[in-house]
Amino acid sequence: MSNRLENRTAVVTGAAQGMGFAIATVLFEAGAKVAIVDIAEEAVVEAARKLDPKNERSMAAVADVTQKEQIQNFIKRMKSTWGRVDILVNNAGGALHTPHLLEEVKEEHWDLVLNVNLKGAFLFCQAVIPLMVEQGGGSIVNVSALAAHWRASLAGVQYTAAKAGLEGLTRQLAYDWGKQGIRVNAVAPTVTLTGDRVRGLWEQKSEEEQQKVLSAIPLRRLSTPEEIGSVVAFLASDGASYITGITVDVSGGRYLR
């Protein structure tokens, strides 16, 4: 079976930069039409231009993943423009510049991280699944983290809780909607050098601290956003047609330690 994505339409949230943009790029290079969704208008327009200068297979869309009405309006636009949504990648999220020490985490930090990472994925799935049912199927890939079923290195309990919830959402949706031809999976990266915050936190570590992290990874290096994107593209493709309800660790073997 092919891992190519010609004649497929894909939506990637939080895709104006970093991991999301890398995922969007891999999907685009595999042949898909790609809608880049983000809350930052200038950044999302620039990302779409960078991805597809001819504007033949891309769409820039501004939407807050925590706002149901904005999501529904975007899905209506997708349906009227491209007719369908074959692939949904719920990437929007992260630690969102919140503290990682328990005593410093405030209620608003907890709410922000849970809302963007978990509620946002739920709302997008809720909006997209009826369209996927109508068209005869589709693939959803949620971007989780190794923290969801292990622990976090650069984030706090609000992040691990949100990502654990995301993996639960993945399993339940896969069970509920498999009979409708909808596959739902997740990918779980470990530390990936994407985004200013993660790079900054990594660079703040001493060489000794960095080596301690790397020594716990059998492949002895951090992952790249493109490596995560490749796994997302595989899960979205026909090559993964009998895979649903799982989380794929993309961690260089770190979970083995």
pLDDT in tens, 85-130: 999 999 999 989 999 899 999 999 999 999 999 999 999 999 999 9
Is the pTM value of this prediction over 0.75?
yes
User: Does the active-site annotation cover 159?
Assistant: yes
Catalytic residue, from 159, 175, 242, 255: name it.
159
Per-residue pLDDT of 199-248, as tens digits, reads 666 667 777 777 777 777 888 778 789 999 999 999 999 999 999 999 99
> Do 30 and 2 meet the contact criterion of CB atoms below 8 Å apart?
no
3-state secondary structure the chain: CCCCCCCCEEEEECCCCHHHHHHHHHHHHCCCEEEEEECCHHHHHHHHHHHCCCCCCEEEEECCCCCHHHHHHHHHHHHHHHCCCCEEEECCCCCCCCCCCHHHCCHHHHHHHHHHHHHHHHHHHHHHHHHHHHHCCEEEEEECCHHHCCCCCCCCHHHHHHHHHHHHHHHHHHHHHHHHCEEEEEEEECCECCCHHHHHHHHHCCHHHHHHHHHCCCCCCCECHHHHHHHHHHHHCHHHCCCCCCEEEECCCHHHC
Q: Mean pLDDT over residues 62-66, rounded?
A: 98
Tokens of 202: 């990594």
Residue 148 pLDDT > 70, yes or no?
Answer: yes
